[in-house]
């Protein structure tokens, strides 16, 4: 999430009641998750396992629950609960409506048809010559390009599935990102595309999604990808251009799939994949999988 205007370290520290390490005028441009964070942004970390990753990430402001040495050129915000304070920063700079208030500010391009039963949130942009079918739900801040088809009962911009366990219950990381659908995309019936926690979930130009597909928060789908029904893609994945994903593929969070890859039905993806054709509950190169099956039959 990028702030409407730059803030400074002292202002952010005062907002959350945290101690800071660094120049009080150190500029802060926004917040982001560890997978997506860029220089000038805040990332949070609340577990020793991830301290080094956060401190060595592109983030230049680290919201952390322990006093540590501050890396050169960076700043620290010391908090007793970084998860809570990350939510506090995000919701201070991005108002959450959840369809309780209709302020709208919706822009719709020429030639676009939106069925009367569709529900559209605030600050939404829809391009030219789009077709929005019945019962589609489009959440706040969603951006849709030209010539996009969104079929019935699809939800764009639902909350991210991102929780921590706290005192025996689950505490949500509040989603302040959005969904971006680029030009010439078609999305089938009953799909769900979660908005980013702090960034954008993106469906690239010319991609086609079948029915009943789940796309997790902050995932980026490349151009001209083809995704078949009942595929589930977790958050913060990167699917590069012209990837084909067949039915019931499951993908763990944070993986990258190289351009031109084919994932056959029911493939389980738990790691980054180079270009190729893959199959199996733990994705393996298809020819290797077939060779293994032949060997097993010949035992």
What are the catalytic residues?
Answer: 217
The dihedrals phi and psi of 132, each to the nearest 5 degrees, come to -105, 115
Say how many residues make up the chain: 299
Q: Angle 81-84-87 (CA atoms, 0-180°, nearest 5)? A: 145
CB atoms within 10 A of CB 107: 12
- List the one residue out of 195, 240, 205, 206 whose CA is nearest residue 220: 240
Place of tokens 């952010």: 12
CA separation for the pair 233, 277 (Å, rounded) = 18
Residues 6+ apart with CB under 8 A from 98: none
Contact 207, 222 (CB under 8 A): yes
Alpha helices (runs of H) in the chain, residue ranges in sequence order: 9-16, 51-55, 82-93, 286-297
CA separation for the pair 223, 239 (Å, rounded) = 9
Sheet holding 27-31, edge to edge: 2-8, 27-31, 41-45, 61-64, 75-78, 19-21
Residues 6+ apart with CB under 8 A from 220: 200, 201, 202, 204, 237, 238, 239
């Amino acid at each position: 999430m990028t702030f409407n205007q730059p803030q400074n370290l002292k202002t952010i520290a005062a907002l959350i009641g945290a101690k800071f390490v660094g120049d009080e005028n150190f500029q802060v441009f926004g917040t982001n998750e560890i997978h997506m964070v860029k220089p000038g942004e805040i990332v949070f970390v609340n577990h020793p396992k991830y301290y080094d990753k956060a401190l060595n990430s592109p983030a230049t402001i680290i919201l952390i629950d322990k006093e540590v040495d501050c890396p050169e050129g960076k700043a620290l915000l010391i908090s007793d609960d970084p998860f809570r304070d990350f939510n506090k920063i995000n919701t201070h700079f991005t108002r959450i409506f959840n369809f309780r208030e209709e302020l709208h500010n919706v822009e719709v391009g020429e030639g676009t048809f939106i069925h009367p039963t569709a529900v559209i949130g605030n600050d939404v942009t829809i391009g030219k010559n789009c077709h929005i079918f019945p019962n589609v739900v489009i959440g706040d801040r969603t951006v849709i390009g030209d010539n996009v088809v969104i079929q019935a009962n699809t939800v764009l911009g639902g909350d991210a599935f991102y929780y921590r366990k706290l005192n025996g219950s689950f505490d949500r990381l509040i989603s302040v990102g959005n969904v971006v659908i680029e030009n010439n995309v078609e999305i089938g019936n009953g799909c769900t595309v979660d908005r980013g926690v702090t960034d954008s979930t993106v469906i690239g130009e010319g991609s086609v999604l079948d029915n009943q597909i789940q796309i997790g928060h902050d995932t980026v789908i490349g151009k001209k990808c083809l995704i078949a029904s009942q595929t589930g893609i977790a958050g913060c994945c990167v699917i590069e251009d012209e990837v084909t994903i067949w039915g019931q593929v499951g993908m763990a969070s944070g993986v990258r799939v190289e351009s031109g890859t084919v994932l056959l039905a029911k493939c389980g993806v738990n790691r980054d994949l180079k270009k190729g054709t893959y199959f199996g509950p733990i994705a393996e190169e298809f020819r290797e999988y077939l060779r293994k099956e032949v060997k097993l039959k010949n035992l």
